[in-house]
Structure 1
């Protein structure tokens, strides 16, 4: 099986905004993500923001409806076209471009904020992507991200359970070896010139400490049942970074 198989996103592009498709569950992650992001930006109106790895445009449209001047970039031309079509349908002005995160077509000091969600675990060169994000952010601009931790628990949950057993994620989409620990990402961010790094758990699975096996199994079944009924993942922002985590970092420097 091919790992980190990004062809999945090309195949899904035309169905990105179909509420009956599994991929649409990603749309519902906007609310908990921006509950975290809003801790650091209270008013998004009029800001310039880029979504790196924007897919079909879930986060771009979410920001555009808040009055943000939005750009989005993605490796998949089919996803970019789907995003453009949906934005046009909803009369939203969003600058979508096809390209790679390691070499983005934007000038230095362009954006007030850059978001990169569900993406860092897929890119070819994480450090180069972070360098590019640092370059295109304005001084004191904020980088928001989420990604997947690399440990035995994330292999069990993300690969064995969600991909191989439940098939809620297309098998082969992830490569466990490309997952990134919070410590590794913090070090890479700081080496690229970011500071004020803050990381929290992006917890959709609850605790995995099994003190009571019956209660543990019931909790997990309840979480999965809720997801199957609503396609909305019950996310909590907390200290549990063991599977997924969310964070922010600031490009140091003074505005000119």
Structure 2
């Protein structure tokens, strides 16, 4: 079987390749992700600990878990997961991100296996993981169902898959396209294509079609007064994250 890369959208890869050098600048083009990261990590860490019965008070609670960060970028999620003890593989189709991620991990004293490849390449090679992260990526792929199928294939039985994205509605257009790109200038204009945003029900359908069981979803809500993100059980109107388990 040949390596399949049909879910990659070259135009989307090129967008993030052009911004690769700014991954670790908290005031650069990835400022929104730096702001969102504590909220994302709170959700991921809590769900992983619950699924695998880990004590978060332990020095390295995720020891023995193998984790894949698809679309790892500069390693904003890969690094904290490695600090928690997980064996981390970071994969990105944008080759320019990998040297940035490797250098930062080295400077941070972390061992992370960063690879310039597609998720499909790992699946074809027979790689399997306890945890798969697909964060803020499904809205950038060419074939969402094909991508979700690959995520499911990469999971070991009982494994946990996370997928976060943006809802598709008028509010998300105003917040993500008008607000973040054109008013606040947090991201270059054209970073996101609103038509590729995925509603929570659509995402659950993709997850179930891939053979996974959705177990949780939460909104990630930005408060302009406190200038902070928080998790919400009810508000999935713009950013949200899901957790799913492989039977």
Q: TM-score range by the shorter chain?
A: 0.7 to 0.9
TM-score, normalised on structure 1?
Answer: 0.82
Cα deviation for residue 109 of structure 1 reads 6.1
Q: Is the radius of gyration larger for structure 1 or structure 2?
A: 1
Deviations 1:206-250 (A, max 9, x none): xxxxxxxxxxxxxx4x25xx3xxxxxx432333100111111000
Matched residue count: 225
Measured against aligned partners, the alpha-carbon deviations of 1:152-208 in whole angstroms (never above 9, x if no partner) come to 111111111211222122110000000000001101110110014321111114xxx
**Residues 204, 236 of structure 1: 8 Å contact kept:** no
Matching residue within 62, 68, 85 for 1:67:
85
What is residue 46 of structure 2 aligned with on the other side? 39
Match of 1:181 among 184, 196, 199: 199
Distance in 1 between residues matched to 2:63 and 2:39, nearest whole Å: 19
Structure 1 residue aligned with 2:59? none
> Could you tell me whether the CA contact under 8 Å between 1:109 and 1:139 is conserved in 2?
no
What is the CA RMSD across the aligned residues, in angstroms?
Answer: 1.8
Of 33, 58, 73, the residue aligned with 1:26 is 33
Superposed CA offset, 1:10-43 (max 9, x none):
2221221123324144234332222222333223
1:1-256 to 2 correspondences below 5 Å: 5-42=12-49, 43=54, 44-101=62-119, 103-106=120-123, 107-108=125-126, 110-205=128-223, 220=224, 222-223=225-226, 226=227, 233-252=228-247
Residue ranges of structure 2 left out of the alignment (5+ in a row): 1-10, 55-61
Unaligned runs of 5+ in 1: 206-219, 227-232
Q: Distance in 2 between matches of 1:181 and 1:114?
A: 21
- Secondary structure, counterpart of 1:169 in structure 2: coil
- State the secondary structure of the residue aligned to 2:77: helix
CA distance, structure 2, for counterparts of residue 166 and residue 19 of structure 1: 15
4+ runs deviating over 4 angstroms: none
